[in-house]
Chain A
Amino acid sequence: MASKHIIEATGLHKTFGSVTPAKDITVNIDAQSVVGLIGTNGAGKTTFVNMLTGYIKPDRGEIVFRGKRITGLAPRKITRLGIARSFQIPQLFGSQTARENIEIALAISGLSAELANESLARLGVLEFADMISGTLPEGVRKLLDISLAMVCKPEVLLLDEPTSGVAAEEKFDVMNRVLDAARALGITVLFVEHDMEIVRRYSDRVLAFCDGRILADGTPDVVLADAQVRELIIGETVSAAPGTGNVAGEVAHA
């Protein structure tokens, strides 16, 4: 029987000099789930995303995507297999229009340029199609960056802080558009986020990172109520009994 896990990461470990942002991370991701990654700066969230997408090669450990080992593959090969990503700082073709950005992505994927309007409309940025992408407002740039990642119809979409730099009143709109489109296409989503309201509202599951490890893993209500998460990640002073989320060492999602 086929595994319901679309991604299986086992014992991922990465060291940069004296810093170890990933310490034997083991976690499985279910297909078509929406997983929020939280943690303080330097906790290892982005390193985890970078290892999944091939930007960083883990020192040890293994990543399996749909039964195929992808550890250490080049980003373009991982993208071709079906894992796409957006960036904390939108990575666009800044001198070109939004439509031209999408057309390039379509051309690389071997798709017709006629799909550009559809791709832009999916995340509600069609009205900006003929504007130079480098001049667009940050929220639109974020959506365009995510649109680029979604052009190739990936099976997994990794979003690195999709609402950072976005005006407070636009954050929920950005997430609504992205997740509506992802659900319509059956895409599994992992997103790094610091806004706990966003995490609580949009995640099926939350992975809380701390010091290169997964501190807690579970539903948003469980993880965000965890005493260690509240104290170490959210920054609250906790005097109550320990929370009920899974703690490090019990993180492999069955």
Chain B
Amino acid sequence: MSSAICSHLRAPGTWLAVIGFVVIGAAGLALPQWQFLVSVALSKGIVALGLALLLRTGLASFGQALFFAVGAYCVGLGMNYYGLTELFALLATSMIVSAVLALVLGFLLARYRDIFFAMLTLALSMICYGLLLNNVELGGSDGFNVNAPTLGSSAQPWQLTGTNLFAVGFIASIVCVMAVALYMRSTPGRLGPAIKDNEIRVEYLGTSARANIHLTYVIAGALAGLGGALQAFNIGHIDPDMAFWTTSGEFVFIAVLSGTRFAFSPFIGALLLEVARAMAYRYAPNTWQIVMGAIMLAIIAFLPGGLTSLGLVRRKPAGGHPVTRTTATASGDAA
């Protein structure tokens, strides 16, 4: 037990996460003007964290915006139709509804791989977008405004805004990274890279690759729902664009940019994306997409394992050439 904890503490991912969260927390408290941007990045990082789990399994979902929107709409509908404002109730509802939806859709999607999986997830997300856009009860194209959530159920509950709301996203991100790091070290978590490498061998070792993919999809859905709920709080408004394919593309961008080596990786990508976008908006308002595209091209060309593949261990086989690891490992540099 103690050796497992020591091993966990020695893992480079653990230190990356600790340092990363310390920096994010300090920056959020010291620079209130950046709190909004960092909060948005954290909520997107949580969605990309789930997507990274799918990518470790060799599956690219171009439809995580579906669950992102469902999570956000659970908040909007809960507040507007049911008067639900309590933070934990809203977060739990968003995660549970998203997870249940992913569970149902997973029965179909877990049967597909590669481009078929990607296209089906995209299609489902666009169906959701169409439903939201054309349904007046769901806010139509205008969506809903979302108020600040509250904490506690007393007569005068604590309304969460500003730094408090940043703290909610910050703590949620830490909890998600810790939970996902533990998952990546568990048997189902270690099966992800194994399935990506060789699904046949996984089956012939006595376990179901499809069931593992289904489970991963449910976890990714729940995380996307949580990210959507937090985003609803951050923005104060939800609309059908949250389910649009470009939103899914943004999550894919973040996951590819950061890599899947560590549980913390997606947060680096999300922060970089938001900062780069803010800078590009300011200094290159008409060409910022070109800047982002150039960044992505550079990452794919020079760091196919993402930013956190920098400094990967090189191992030289006997008589062979050095080998660079570009994928998450089984033992997982998980945290």
* Chain A contact residues, CB within 8 Å of chain B: 53, 74-76, 79-80, 84-85, 87, 91-97, 100-101, 103-105, 107-109, 130-132, 135-136, 148-149, 151-152
Contact = CB atoms under 8 A, between A and B. Distances in A.
A152 B201 CA distance: 13
A144 B260 CA distance: 26
A107 B187 contact: yes
A111 to B, nearest CB: 11
B332 to A, nearest CB: 9
A76 B203 contact: yes
Nearest to B331: A100
Interface of B: 187, 190-191, 193-194, 196-198, 200-208, 315, 317-318, 320, 323, 325-327, 329-331
B335 to A, nearest CB: 17
B320 to A, nearest CB: 5
B325 to A, nearest CB: 7
B330 A108 contact: no
B57 to A, nearest CB: 13
Given A100-B331, A107-B190, A108-B187, A93 B203 contact: no
Majority SS at the chain A contact face = mixed
A149 B204 contact: yes
A95 B206 contact: no
A136 B187 contact: no
Contacts of A109: 205-206
A95 B205 contact: no
A78 to B, nearest CB: 9
Contacts of A103: 190, 330-331
Nearest to B199: A91
A151 B191 CA distance: 16
Contacts of B329: 95-97, 100
A91 B204 contact: yes
A103 B189 CA distance: 13
Given A104-B190, A135-B323, A96 B197 contact: yes
Given A76-B204, A79-B204, A100-B331, 11 more contacts: A92-B197, A92-B198, A92-B201, A95-B193, A95-B197, A96-B329, A104-B191, A108-B202, A109-B205, A131-B317, A149-B204
B218 to A, nearest CB: 20
B42 to A, nearest CB: 30
B204 A108 contact: no
A93 B193 contact: yes
Contacts of A87: 200
B323 to A, nearest CB: 5
Contacts of A104: 190-191, 194, 205, 330
A95 B315 contact: no
19 contacts: A75-B203, A76-B205, A76-B207, A76-B208, A79-B205, A87-B200, A92-B198, A96-B194, A96-B329, A96-B330, A97-B329, A104-B205, A108-B191, A108-B206, A109-B206, A131-B315, A132-B315, A135-B323, A152-B206
B315 A148 contact: no
Contacts of A85: 204
A87 to B, nearest CB: 8
Most chain-B CB neighbours within 10 Å: which of A76, A84, A152? A76
Nearest to A133: B197
A103 to B, nearest CB: 6
Contacts of B330: 93, 96, 100-101, 103-104
A89 B190 CA distance: 23
A11 B165 CA distance: 69
A225 to B, nearest CB: 35
Contacts of A100: 329-331
Contacts of B317: 131-132, 135-136
A92 B320 CA distance: 19
B238 to A, nearest CB: 40
Contacts of A92: 197-198, 201
B323 A132 contact: yes
A76 B204 CA distance: 5
B248 to A, nearest CB: 26
A100 B313 CA distance: 15
A149 B329 CA distance: 21
Contacts of A130: 315
A108 B323 contact: no
A151 B331 contact: no
A91 B200 CA distance: 7
Contacts of A79: 203-206
A94 B320 CA distance: 15
B191 A74 contact: no
A132 B329 CA distance: 10
A108 B189 CA distance: 11
A75 B187 contact: no
A108 B194 CA distance: 11
A132 B312 CA distance: 13
Contacts of B191: 104, 108
Nearest to A90: B201
Nearest to A109: B206
A84 to B, nearest CB: 7
B11 to A, nearest CB: 14
A148 B201 contact: yes
Contacts of A93: 193-194, 197-198, 201, 330
Contacts of A96: 193-194, 197, 329-330
Nearest to B320: A135
